[in-house]
Structure 1
Amino acid sequence: MSTQRYTPEFKEEAVRQIVDRGYSVAEVSERLGVSAHSLYKWVKAVKPDRSDQHAADLVEAKSEILKLRAQLRRTEEERDIPKKGRSVLCQGPRVKYRFINDHRHEHRVATMCRVLKVARSGFYQWLHKPLSDRAIEDERLLGLIRASYAASGGVYGAPRVFADLREVGECCGRHRVARLMRIHKIRALRGYKKPRHIAGRPAILAPNTLNRGFTVERPDQAWVTDITYLRTWQGWLYLAVVVDLYSRKVVGWSMKPTLAKELALDALLMAVWRRRPRVPVLVHSDQGSQYGSDAWRRFCTAHNLEPSMSRRGNCWDNAVAESFFSSLKKERIKKRIYKTRELARADVFDYIEVFYNRTRRHSHLGDVSPEAFEQASK
C-alpha cells in the first residue's frame, strides 16, 4: 500500500475529475497514478456537500434565467438600432447626433435618442449648428499648431508649440494645445533612447548557490520554483510550481487568487510530501517577497532544504521555471481568458498532472516525458 501523501488541493482536483468532468475512477487512477481505493474514499468524503451545492446551483440558475428574460426584453426594444451604432455609445453628444442624422430615415429619432442617451431637443439644435464655437476655434488653433510644428522640423512638443502661439499673441491654455496635439497624433520626433541597465544585484537573504547549474546527477538534488499569473473573468489566478531539475518534473504546485506567501509554501509542501527527500535539497527561487519571508526560511530549515536566490532582475538565473511557464502558456493557455478561476484551475491541473509530467516529450530528456525519464533511471 502506498504511503504517499497528497495535499488537500491535489485531492480536490482529483475528485473534480470524477464528479464534475465525467471520468471514471479507473481512468483517473491511471491518469494520476493514485490508487482507486484512495479515490473512492476522497469522493465519499465530499458527496454530502454535493446535494446542497446542487440546490444552490438551481437557485442560481433560476436567478440567471430571470436576468436573461429581462435582458431579452430590453434587447427587443432596441433591436431596430443597427449594430454599428454601438461604436458611438461612448462618444460625445455631437458624434451621436451625427449618427442619428445619418440614420434618421431608417429609425425613429426619439428611439435613437433614447438608446444613445441624448436629448432630442439637443439633436434638433445641432442640426442648425453642427459645430460649436469651441470646435471652430479648435480648428483655427490646429492650423497654427501644425505650422509651428512644421517650422521646427517636427521636434517641438506641446510646451514649445504653446510658447510659439503665445509669442504671436494667441490666448489659449497649455493643456488645450496638448489635447489638440494628442487627438491629432502630433508628436515630437526623438532619437532612440538608450536602454536603462538594471544591475543584477545578488540577494541579501540567500546566495545564488545554484548559479545556473541546471543539469544535476540525481533526483531531488535541486529544485527550482517560481510564480506566474493566469487571467480569468473573475480576476487573476496565481500559480506556483516546484520543478525537479533532474527530470524537469513538476513535483509541487499550488493555485490561489492572491499572492500571499501560502501560495509558495503550499507548492513546496506538496513537493516535500511527494518526494520525501532524505538528503538536503537545494531550492532555487527569485527574490520575490514570498521567498524572502520568515515563514519560507523557517519551512526550509524544518525540512532540510537549502534556499538559493537569483540575482535581482535576472530571469536567466531561474530559466527552467520560466521555460515551464512559457510552455504552459504557449501550449495550453495561449491568449485564452477563462470565465472562472475554477475552469482555469482545472485546465492547468490537467496540463501538469496528466499531460506534462506523464505524456509530454521533453527535449532536454531525449524526447521522453519526465515520468518515463525517472522510471528509466531507477
Structure 2
Amino acid sequence: MSSQRYTPEFKDEAVRQVVERGYSVAEVAERLGVSAHSLYKWVNAVKPDQSEVHANELREAKTEVLKLRAQLRRTEEERDIPKKGGKVLCKPARVKYQFINEHKTRFSILSMCRLLDVARAGYYAWLHKPLSARAIEDMRLLSLIRASYAASAGVYGSPRVFQDLREVGESCGVHRVAKIMRRHQIKAIRGYKTPRAIAGRPSIIAPNHLKREFTVAHPDQVWVTDITYLRTCQGWLYLAVVVDLYSRKVVGWSMKPSLAKEIVLDALLMAVWRRRPKQRVLVHSDQGSQYGSDAWQRFCKTHNLQPSMSRRGNCWDNAVAESFFSSLKKERIKKRIYKTRDIARSDVFDYIEMFYNQTRRC
C-alpha cells in the first residue's frame, strides 16, 4: 500500500505512538495496518539523529556542571569572606575597601561588596583616592605632633602638644590631637620606673635551709612564721604566727594594727617562752622587711635560733604557714569584715587557742 494514502496528521500520530508512548514499530504497524518499513521511514524522518541527541545531552550536562561549580564557588566565598573579614564588618567603608583590595585575588569583588554591605562604585572610587581629606590632614598633623613631642624629649602629652599646635596657627581640637597620638601610640614618658622583683631569687640575708622539708622528726626542730591581714571597719589588723612543723600547732602569735617589726618579734618571743627549746631551732620565713631587719637577726642570735628565708616571690617555700592562714580564713573569718579590731582579736584568739591548737584535727 502506498504511503501517499496516509495524511500527514496520520503519520504524526503513528510516529508519536513509537517516539512518545514507547510502543515498538512492529506493534504499532500491526495495529494501524501499515507496513513496518513505512513506519520506520516515518519515524526516522521525524526522530533526530542519535549522535545529535548525545551531543545535546553532553552540552546540557557541561552547562549544569559549570552552574554547579559557580554556585559552589559562591557558597564557599559566602562562608570564607565573613571569616576573613569579621574584624571589618563594623568598621567604616574605607576600612572595608582596604580589605576588599587586599583579598581581590582570592574572592570576587562583587561577593565581598555584597557581604560587607558596601557599594562597588564606592570601592572603585576609593581606588582612585584611598585616603580621605581628613586622613590626609591627620597625616599632616601627625608630623607636627611628632615634632612637638620630640622637642619636649617625650614628656609632653596631648594637652601640651595641642598648645604647641595652637601657637603655630593650627585650629584642630585637643580631642583630635589626643586621638592621633593614641592611634600612633605616642604618650608622655613621666615618673620613675619601678624596679621589678625577680621571682625565685634567694635571699642575701639568710639562705633557704628548709628547702621544703616540711616533715620533721622532733618538736621544736623547725618553726615557720609569716604575716597576714584581717579586714575591720577600723582598718587592717595584722596577724603574725609561728607554727611548729612537728605538731603543726601555733606556738606563737601576735596581732597589731601596723606592720612594724615588733609584730614578728612578739610572735617569736611567745614561741620561745612557751616551748623553751633546748637545742638550736630553725626559723623559716619569707623575705619580708620585718624578717630582714637587724632586730630580727639579733633576736635569733640571742635565743639560739637559725634564720632561714624562702626564695623571693615563692609562697610554696613557706607552704605550712600559708596553709594555716588559708584554714583560718576559710573556717572562721569567711570574708567577714569585723566591726572593731578588738572583736577581730577575740575571734582569732578563740580560733587559735580554743579550737585549732586544742581540738581541730590536722
- Give TM-score, length-normalised by structure 1: 0.47
- Give TM-score, length-normalised by structure 2: 0.49
Q: Which has the greater radius of gyration?
A: 2
- If asked which structure has higher relative contact order (CA below 8 Å, sep 6+), I would say 1
